Amino acid sequence: MTQSFHPPVRTLMGPGPSDVNPRILEALSRPTIGHLDPAFVGLMDEIKALLQFAFQTRNALTLPVSAPGSAGMETCFVNLVSAGDKVVVAQNGVFGGRMKENVERCGGVAVMVQDDWGHAVDPQKVDDALKANPEAKVLAFVHAETSTGARSDAAELCRLAQQHDCLSIVDTVTGLGGIEVDVDGWGADAVYSGTQKCLSCVPGLSPVTFSERAAAAISAREHRAQSWFMDLDLVMAYWGEGAQRAYHHTAPINALYGLHEALVILEEEGLQNAWARHRLNHEALAAGLESLNIEFVVDAAHRLPQLNCVRFPAGVDDAAVRRQLLQDFQLEIGAGLGPLAGKVWRIGLMGYASNQKNVLLCLGALESVLAQQGVPVDAGEAVAAAQATYASHA
Amino acid sequence: MTQSFHPPVRTLMGPGPSDVNPRILEALSRPTIGHLDPAFVGLMDEIKALLQFAFQTRNALTLPVSAPGSAGMETCFVNLVSAGDKVVVAQNGVFGGRMKENVERCGGVAVMVQDDWGHAVDPQKVDDALKANPEAKVLAFVHAETSTGARSDAAELCRLAQQHDCLSIVDTVTGLGGIEVDVDGWGADAVYSGTQKCLSCVPGLSPVTFSERAAAAISAREHRAQSWFMDLDLVMAYWGEGAQRAYHHTAPINALYGLHEALVILEEEGLQNAWARHRLNHEALAAGLESLNIEFVVDAAHRLPQLNCVRFPAGVDDAAVRRQLLQDFQLEIGAGLGPLAGKVWRIGLMGYASNQKNVLLCLGALESVLAQQGVPVDAGEAVAAAQATYASHA
């Protein structure tokens, strides 16, 4: 007989999932109700309003896709890209590459604009590509690149899309709740995120929002979207306004309890306060890491405070350190991906996990494990550097 | 400020979601761990083995899709149907129609075999269609039609598919855990289910299993699947055997805790015991409904014990009865769909909800509400009829 699964209690400081607020875990376990229950319809309305708050948008077409962030990405592409469409895709990490995959599977043509991993997307290159491809219909880019910790200038890139009469598709899976996401201010057209990063909810849902311009493009499609599950015409008949909710698929009820609670918590804290908290804990962690001579991959101006991508000291056994952090400290940090694999760690300070306790734990644990790896470490120095940062902000 | 959402406590006797076992609700709230954590990899292996048990299969390609049942359906179609492929689709309710949508969105051609709603799929008609379309590559049908409560002969239909050298795609969203599902015995090729029916878990995941024949067809595809999120080549690199799990998407960790617990509960009870329990509670409910002169849509030989689709008495206000059941008894039953809308109720006895307490509650509540609607009812008669059934099986 198989036994019930009781997970170890970890501290999640990787690239996501991040530590989940216990209020959200409790919300998940509330009694299930039907997906057409009047009480559930009320919940859906509140989730939509809270997502509009989080995204800073008045877009009516704002809802959580019933699947993880990569399905949120695909929802944007299958609804906005038709066979033969040209899409300019800016790539500066893993997720721009996944966007290319999406474009091609929709039968579109991806025009790639490459920047080095760890750099922000260069608006000049994007402008050049849009000028060189005047027939392009969409510009797609990643606002907060989870694979490198780089933040790109979403406002400027969305402005370029508008200037060239393109729709913009923006990945802010790691951005929402951790740094400013200003969908209406940017004039972004299709934006997707995830629940398991700075919203501190469990993985499994993907908040998305579409501008009126994007919604009009979806309505004006000549062919149905190639995905039934992700067809927004159908999804919106269920999530849309009005008394009659047309059954589409069975919504993931309890996961939505969790997302609702996560958004209530964000509303209680306030967006600006949440961003400031992510900033402060990042600065404290960065002070500690620098005292250990651990360097950031991304320059200071473009760093995501919630995802610290750092080069570990020469000679250190990457996998051994991460394994020991997990075994001895129940602490998860992330490995590098792609060209950064085996060279960097990704240390997340996302949502509920972005707190002083985690910063000090991480630095103290790293001091200990690195010393065991033979790296010269002054015990307590990194923790002290972080504490000094907190003191200077008190 | 938005307040936390505290759902009403319902009894869920509609077409799903069904009542969730409190053990599963508790499992959902266990601490989140990373999707590459060694402990999580062990959980994945157990879930695969438990799904093989539930599906009665040795298929290696057996896993839960990270999205609801309709994404499980789409996963089968996008991986097995390419542009130009002919697919014979048997329709006897809502979900055969959705299969047709899926075929067409994959660029395939659907040859429809129609049976009346409430009837089983007629194997003779399917045989005729397969003979008339020798180039057909796939036969798709619904084993347990959630919209009507009809059960079709999956063994015979899969046999016909094999005989005509077609792959079979089988929808048993409502079947798994409630009636016999014998994937290897049937020789089925692609089978999908849901978590929120007879597994009594929350909605949001879709267990799927693929035969070696189906897996070979997927590997031999000339073009990539049109969906990135549902591409089984990529999904299996994460869920597959071996030490190296390649990151695909972030798995819905806590939802998988719930599914694991649901499958542990099914294993504890045993498949045959679970089926017998569904059968007994169905018979008790049926005895009570018949005493109220409420008739079944489906003939006795083809009824799903877990989904009782019944014509309500003439003159009864459908919506008013369901509203009153919800308000006065916190009891949800389902409405009709399509040609059965406004004519039937769908009373679920699925998984954890299939128990004597719910049968008696439902019959007692119906007696009360129907009497208020002016239907002549002998108070207590329906409940007594159900109790007599239990007594005769004791």
Q: Where are the domains of chain A?
A: 22-267, 271-393
Tell me the per-residue pLDDT of B178-225, one tens digit each, with 9 for 90 and over.
999 999 999 999 999 999 999 999 999 999 999 999 999 999 999 999
Tell me the per-residue pLDDT of B21-52, one tens digit each, with 9 for 90 and over.
999 999 999 999 999 999 999 999 999 999 99
Residue B309: pLDDT above 70? yes
Query: How many Å lie between the alpha carbon of B84 and the closest alpha carbon of chain A?
Result: 14
Low-confidence ranges of chain A (pLDDT < 70): 241-244
Query: How many Å lie between the alpha carbon of B163 and the closest alpha carbon of chain A?
Result: 30
Tell me which of B32, B75, B253 to substitute to probe the interface with A (most A C-beta atoms closer than 10 Å): B32
Residues 121-180 of B with CB under 8 A from A: none
Query: How many Å lie between the alpha carbon of A176 and the closest alpha carbon of chain B?
Result: 17
Query: How many Å lie between the alpha carbon of A222 and the closest alpha carbon of chain B?
Result: 13
For residue A207, the one-letter residue type is P
- Residue from the list B202, B252, B257 with its beta carbon closest to the beta carbon of A32: B202
- Residue from the list B1, B30, B252 with its beta carbon closest to the beta carbon of A68: B252
Contacts of A23 in chain B (CB under 8 A): 4
Q: Which residues contact residue B8 at a Cβ distance below 8 angstroms, ignoring those fewer than 6 apart?
A: A31, A33, A37, A39, B330
Least confident of A291-295, B230-234, B242-246: B242-246
Res. B237 pLDDT band, cuts 50 70 90: confident
Pairs across A and B, CB distance < 8 A:
254
Contacts of B249 in chain A (CB under 8 A): 68-71
What pLDDT was estimated at residue A369?
97
Tell me which of A73, A205, A224, A227 to substitute to probe the interface with B (most B C-beta atoms closer than 10 Å): A227
Query: How many Å lie between the alpha carbon of B246 and the closest alpha carbon of chain A?
Result: 11
Check: CB of residue B76 under 8 Å from CB of residue B173.
no
CA-nearest residue to A247 within chain B is: B337
Check: CB of residue B93 under 8 Å from CB of residue B113.
no
Three-point CA angle A248, A253, A255, nearest 5°: 120
Contact A250 B194 (CB under 8 A): yes
Q: Which one, of B306, B296, B295, B293, lies nearest residue B370 by Cα? A: B293
What pLDDT was estimated at residue A111?
98
Domain A22-267 falls under CATH 3.40.640.10: yes
- How would you label A203-239 residue by residue, b for 16+ Cβ within 10 Å and e otherwise? bbbbbbbbbeebbebbeeeeeebbbbbbbbebbbebb
Residues 63-102 of B with CB under 8 A from A: 66-71, 74, 98, 101-102
Q: Which residues contact residue A200 at a Cβ distance below 8 angstroms, ignoring those fewer than 6 apart?
A: A18, A19, A20, A21, A24, A177, A262, A265, A350, A351, A352, A353
Query: How many Å lie between the alpha carbon of A183 and the closest alpha carbon of chain B?
Result: 21
Query: How many Å lie between the alpha carbon of A356 and the closest alpha carbon of chain B?
Result: 20
- Residue from the list B25, B194, B226 with its beta carbon closest to the beta carbon of A226: B226
Q: How far apart are CA A261 and CA A26, in angstroms?
A: 9
In DSSP terms, which residues pair with A308 in a beta bridge? A347
Inter-axis angle of helices B356-372 and B318-329, nearest 10: 120
Q: Which one, of A110, A73, A328, lies nearest residue A208 by Cα? A: A73
Q: Which residues contact residue A94 at a Cβ distance below 8 angstroms, ignoring those fewer than 6 apart?
A: A145, A146, A147, A337, A338
Contact B105 A249 (CB under 8 A): no
- Residue B164 tokens read as 């005509």
Contact A35 B267 (CB under 8 A): no
Ramachandran quadrant class, A93 (left: phi over 0; alpha: psi -120 to 50; beta: rest): left
Contact B226 A105 (CB under 8 A): yes
In DSSP terms, which residues pair with B344 in a beta bridge? B311
Calculate the CA dihedral of residues B224, A67, B36, A364 and round it to 10 degrees.
140
Tell me the per-residue pLDDT of A339-353, one tens digit each, with 9 for 90 and over.
999 999 999 999 999
Query: How many Å lie between the alpha carbon of B236 and the closest alpha carbon of chain A?
Result: 16
Q: Which residues contact residue B394 at a Cβ distance below 8 angstroms, ignoring those fewer than 6 apart?
A: none
Contact A249 B69 (CB under 8 A): yes
Check: CB of residue A102 under 8 Å from CB of residue A227.
no
- Residue B190 tokens read as 């692609």
CA-nearest residue to A26 within chain B is: B29
Contacts of A98 in chain B (CB under 8 A): 228
Contact B39 A7 (CB under 8 A): yes
Q: Which residues contact residue A363 at a Cβ distance below 8 angstroms, ignoring those fewer than 6 apart?
A: A285, A288, A289, A292, A382, A383, A385, A386
Check: CB of residue A306 under 8 Å from CB of residue A350.
yes
- Residue B206 tokens read as 């879709």
Calculate the CA dihedral of residues A27, A28, A30, A33 and round it to 10 degrees.
120
What pLDDT was estimated at residue B118?
97
Residues 307-346 of A with CB under 8 A from B: 326, 332, 337
Contacts of B20 in chain A (CB under 8 A): 31-32, 254
Contact A66 B251 (CB under 8 A): no
3-state secondary structure chain A: CCCCCCCCCCEEECCCCCCCCHHHHHHHCCCCCCCCCHHHHHHHHHHHHHHHHHHCCCCCEEEEECCCHHHHHHHHHHHHCCCCCEEEEEECCHHHHHHHHHHHHCCCEEEEEECCCCCCCCHHHHHHHHHHCCCCCEEEEECEECCCCEECCHHHHHHHHHHCCCEEEEECCCCECCECCCHHHHCCCEEECCCCCCCCCCCCCEEEEECHHHHHHHHCCCCCCCCCCCCHHHHHHHHCCCCCCCCCCCCCHHHHHHHHHHHHHHHHHCHHHHHHHHHHHHHHHHHHHHHCCCEECCCHHHECCCEEEEECCCCCCHHHHHHHHHHHHCEEEEECCHHHCCCEEEEECCHHHCCHHHHHHHHHHHHHHHHHCCCCCCCCHHHHHHHHHHHHHC
What pLDDT was estimated at residue B247?
79
Please tell me if residue A8 touches chain B, with a CB cutoff of 8 Å.
yes
Q: How far is CA B62 from CA A66, B193, B197, B206, in A?
A: 21, 11, 19, 11
Q: How far is CA A52 from CA A176, A211, B225, in A?
A: 12, 12, 33
What pLDDT was estimated at residue A237?
83
Q: How far apart are CA A380 and CA A364, in angstroms?
A: 7
Q: Looking at domain B271-393, what is its CATH homologous superfamily?
A: Aspartate Aminotransferase, domain 1 (3.90.1150.10)
In DSSP terms, which residues pair with B311 in a beta bridge? B295, B344
Res. B365 pLDDT band, cuts 50 70 90: very high
- Residue from the list A30, A101, A250 with its beta carbon closest to the beta carbon of B7: A30
Mean pLDDT of chain B: 96
Please tell me if residue A234 touches chain B, with a CB cutoff of 8 Å.
no
Please tell me if residue B233 touches chain A, with a CB cutoff of 8 Å.
no
Residue B394: pLDDT above 90? no
Concatenate the DSSP letters of all residues of B261-328 into one string: HHHHHHHHH-HHHHHHHHHHHHHHHHHHHHHTTPEESS-GGGB-TTEEEEEPPTT--HHHHHHHHHHH
CA-nearest residue to B34 within chain A is: A17
Q: Which residues contact residue A163 at a Cβ distance below 8 angstroms, ignoring those fewer than 6 apart?
A: A130
For range B299-325, the mean pLDDT? 96
Any idea what DSSP says for residue B352? G
Q: How far apart are CA A66 and CA B29, in angstroms?
A: 19
Tell me which of A146, A223, A249, A259 to substitute to probe the interface with B (most B C-beta atoms closer than 10 Å): A249
Tell me which of B29, B94, B174 to substitute to probe the interface with A (most A C-beta atoms closer than 10 Å): B29
Query: How many Å lie between the alpha carbon of A9 and the closest alpha carbon of chain B?
Result: 6
Q: Which residues contact residue A123 at a Cβ distance below 8 angstroms, ignoring those fewer than 6 apart?
A: A153, A156, A157, A160
Query: How many Å lie between the alpha carbon of A1 and the closest alpha carbon of chain B?
Result: 7
Q: How far apart are CA B277 and CA A304, in angstroms?
A: 54
Domain B21-267 falls under CATH 3.90.1640.10: no
CA-nearest residue to B249 within chain A is: A70
Contacts of B31 in chain A (CB under 8 A): 7-10, 20, 25
What pLDDT was estimated at residue B242?
57
Please tell me if residue A224 touches chain B, with a CB cutoff of 8 Å.
yes
Contact B196 A250 (CB under 8 A): yes
Q: Which one, of B173, B111, B101, lies nearest residue B138 by Cα? A: B111
ipTM above 0.95, yes or no: yes
Contacts of A4 in chain B (CB under 8 A): 23, 27, 260-261, 264
Check: CB of residue A146 under 8 Å from CB of residue A16.
yes
Residue B104's H or E segment, with its range, is helix B94-105
Q: Which residues contact residue B363 at a Cβ distance below 8 angstroms, ignoring those fewer than 6 apart?
A: B285, B288, B289, B292, B382, B383, B385, B386
Check: CB of residue B193 under 8 Å from CB of residue B40.
no
